[in-house]
Structure 1
């Protein structure tokens, strides 16, 4: 993670890292003729292990990078389960909140004299109130909070998985990964905003107006971008009818992860 944070924001959200997923989505019709069970299992284990690793990491940028890896595993998994349009929708919504997450993290790291260890952060809301607000917005979108960008793709993905006839292993990995995502998200928020440490390394850096303009645009997209994309991609609303206990299952794992 040696690249500048704005470069990482571009690379991880919408260009280099997601290019392979986009290429596979374009060739999804050809892939449907092959047995991709091994790649599906590999994608699901990537999703699970990346979420687990993010819960054990203390470097802020590495946590976000592992979060990107986890989302890539989710895109690949849903692609090889036979839902390329849902994978493409999540690729687009992921670009909004992940770019915002990296830019907010970059402002915080700069404020901390380039220290990326979340154990040395704490009470950042006193120094960077607007950045911390947008940081929370991006994290809530990452978790799939209702009516945020991430919700419109993740909710459809979970409903598609729950309503499909796949085995229990697929079902379990997806829902445990939800809990891991919520867990590392709230862990980062706690360390960055509420952890009580002496911030002697934090210098008097103010929130730059030019930087805030790009963060504001991405924050608006992280809130409402998913809704617009869903209207554009699905001209007819997708409807999955599920029993109540299956509909509430993601909520159970969210509370377990929190």
Structure 2
């Protein structure tokens, strides 16, 4: 259940209000990028993903059937920890399984098993044998793969693209005008791999671009068609 205004243990000074924004932000809970729905303190410029603002105390995950993940405000112990979904460092809120030691970013823990807009379906896999459309490597992190098996994207690669293009977010210096022209596109990379007619190559790249839109929106914590369209329109400018 979502509430319009909530208190939060991580920001006791003021209540956080629910809002929707079509520009990226940095979540002050998990320290990861976000877009779309969020809870915000307008006084302190404090932002949280909805997953971080309203976390479940404990969760399970289909990929780890023997695990029980508990929500924690900070990584346990002194050693550096990484997310088992995207393989990126964990610097804030997380879900942790005490029995096996696995960790998940809140947004990674909530990644939909299926992304479906009515025209394309993408399925989340823990490991796939197919190579990623961005890095060309197999295995690695969790991946989204299309039902037709033509498009495969590592969650880790999508996050790397965001970090590369939205570097300002992670240091609090980003602004909408800069970011709008710096969101990455994989169209040119994909075109280099196609040896078909121009028409078929163009269609294939368009479909791969659509796949990228949905994966990006899911990784950012708000896998909705509207957000995917916003991300896609920005990607097409690069």
The answer to whether TM tops 0.5 is no
What is the TM-score with the length of structure 2 in the denominator?
A: 0.25
Q: Which is richer in strand? A: 2
What is the TM-score with the length of structure 1 in the denominator?
A: 0.23
Higher relative contact order (CA 8 A, sep 6+): 1
